Amino acid sequence: MSGHMNLTLKVWRQKDAKAAGKLETYEAKDVSPDMSFLEMIDVVNESLIKKGVEPIAFDHDCREGICGACSMYINGHAHGPKQGITTCQLHMRSFKDGETITIEPWRAKAFPIIKDLVVDRSAFDRIIQAGGYVSVNTGVTIDANAIAIPKEHADNAMDAATCIGCGACVAACKNASATLFLSAKVSQLALLPQGHPERAARVEAMIDQMELEGFGNCTNTEACSAECPKEIGQEHIARMNREFYAAKLSSSKTK
Q: Site residues (CB under 6 A) for ligand FES?
A: 60-63, 65-70, 86-88
- Helix 122-129 × helix 179-191 angle, to 10°: 30
Q: For the CB of residue 164, give the shortest distance to ligand SF4 in the complex, in Å.
A: 5
Give me the DSSP letters along 179-224: HHHHHHHHHHHHHSGGGGGGHHHHHHHHHHHHHHTT-B------HH
Q: Looking at beta carbons only, is 12 or 37 nearer to ligand FES?
A: 37
Q: Looking at beta carbons only, is 73 or 181 nearer to ligand SF4?
A: 181
- What does 181 interact with, of other proteins, ligand FES, ligand SF4, none (CB < 5 to 8 A by kind)? ligand SF4
Q: For the CB of residue 58, give the shortest distance to ligand FES in the complex, in Å.
A: 9
**Contact call for residue 229 and ligand SF4 (CB under 6 A):** yes
Q: Looking at beta carbons only, is 119 or 173 nearer to other proteins?
A: 119
**Contact call for residue 254 and other proteins (CB under 8 A):** no
Give the span between the Cα atoms of 46 and 52, in whole angstroms.
10
- What does 114 interact with, of ligand FES, ligand SF4, other proteins, none (CB < 5 to 8 A by kind)? other proteins
Q: How many other C-beta atoms can be found within 10 angstroms of the C-beta atom of residue 232? A: 24
**Per residue in 27-50, is it b (16+ CB within 10 Å) or e — as a string?**
ebeebeeebbbbbbbbbbbeebee
- What does 145 interact with, of ligand SF4, ligand FES, other proteins, none (CB < 5 to 8 A by kind)? other proteins
Say if residues 53 and 60 touch (Cβ distance below 8 Å).
Answer: no
Q: For the CB of residue 52, give the shortest distance to ligand SF4 in the complex, in Å.
A: 36
Residue 124: CA count within 13 A, CB half-sphere: 26
Piece in contact with other proteins (CB under 8 A), picked from 95-103, 114-122, 219-227, 239-247: 114-122
Element (H, E) at 225: helix 223-227
Size of site (CB under 8 A) for other proteins = 78
Tell me if residue 165 falls in helix, strand or coil.
coil
Say if residues 199 and 242 touch (Cβ distance below 8 Å).
Answer: no
Q: Please state the length of the chain.
A: 255
**Contact call for residue 114 and other proteins (CB under 8 A):** yes
Query: x/- binding map, residues 122-161, to other proteins, per CB under 8 A?
Result: x-xx--xxxxxxxxxxxxxxxxxx-xxxxx--xx-xx--x
Residues at the contact surface with ligand SF4, assessed by CB under 6 A: 163-169, 180-181, 184, 228-230, 232
